[in-house]
A and B are shown apart, each in its own frame.
Chain A
Amino acid sequence: MRSRENVTSGGAVLWLFQRVSGIYLAVVLFAHVWLLHFLLREDLSFAAVSERLATPLWKTIDISFLVVALFHGLYGLWIVLEDYIHWGWARIFLYSAISLVALVALVLGILTILPFQGGF
């Protein structure tokens, strides 16, 4: 058993979030692949996708999926890079680059999901 002494630092919170988000992604990804590849037994068309995205429930699920997947992935990338990049300026550059990529992908994803409304 691990000691619980260090669980108050910021790193520990992020560590916990990486595990919890991983479990969340496992569940939502299963639903995502199941729905898109096996329930909709047809090629994915604009009509099929926009109809699904027009429902508030799917919009919420897909946006949460986007946010959590980006965070889990790019925070994971940061952990990996931290092991190999030791110079201060290089870390700052990479941290900025990862944050920028995250922001662009997040905005692009939300702009994709959000506009759909009923009656398409």
Chain B
Amino acid sequence: MRALQRYRIHLGTAAWILHRLSGLALILYLLVHIWVIHHLIGGRESFDGIMEFFNNPLAKALEIGLVGVILYHLWNGLRVTLVDIGVMVERQKQVFGVAVVLWLVSWGMVAYAMLTRTGGLLSAIARIGGGGLS
């Protein structure tokens, strides 16, 4: 019990918990992704049909969230690897800060591109606005 009372959520602990949670989410996504893409086996109609199912604003917004989860796991994973191999351990706090900045900046860049590109979130929303909910 004493150990429990002393337990505090430090930044490093939070990062570690988030690494596990993001990893679990990514496994689920990977399995769903393999299942979705396996529709290629059924040929053109089967694949284009399932892709059309995901061609809506909700799926495209979730995709931008997914990129955030991936990039968190990626940058934090690289940070943990640096700590593990003993690189810049005495500058852990700075490395942590750099990882957070890289995460947010890279997520922002990809999110912007996914919002604005042809077939992206904004054009999917416009498609619904212009063509009605069909």
Contacts and interface: CB of A to CB of B under 8 A. Distances in A.
A, B bound = yes
B57 interface: no
A111 interface: yes
Nearest to B80: A19
Contacts of A80: 20, 23-24
Nearest to B119: A43
Nearest to B37: A112
Contacts of B26: 73
Nearest to B82: A19
B4 interface: no
Chain B contact residues, majority secondary structure = helix
A38 interface: yes
Contacts, number: 85
Interface in A79-120: 80, 101, 105, 108-109, 111-112, 115-116
Interface in B28-63: 30-31, 34-35, 37-38, 40-41, 43-44, 47-48, 51, 55
Given A26-B78, A43-B119, 5 more contacts: A22-B78, A22-B81, A29-B70, A77-B24, A109-B37
A23 interface: yes
Interface residues of B, number: 35
A76 interface: yes
Given A23-B81, A37-B117, A101-B31, A111 B38 contact: yes
Considering the complex of A and B, which 6 residue pairs feature the smallest CB-CB distances, nearest first?
A46-B44, A73-B27, A46-B47, A1-B86, A43-B119, A112-B38
B74 A26 contact: yes
Contacts of A116: 40
Contacts of B98: none
A57 interface: no
Interface of B: 20, 23-24, 26-27, 30-31, 34-35, 37-38, 40-41, 43-44, 47-48, 51, 55, 67, 70, 74, 77-78, 81, 84-86, 89, 110, 113-114, 117-119
A37 B40 contact: no
A109 B114 contact: no
A74 B30 CA distance: 10
Contacts of B38: 108-109, 111-112
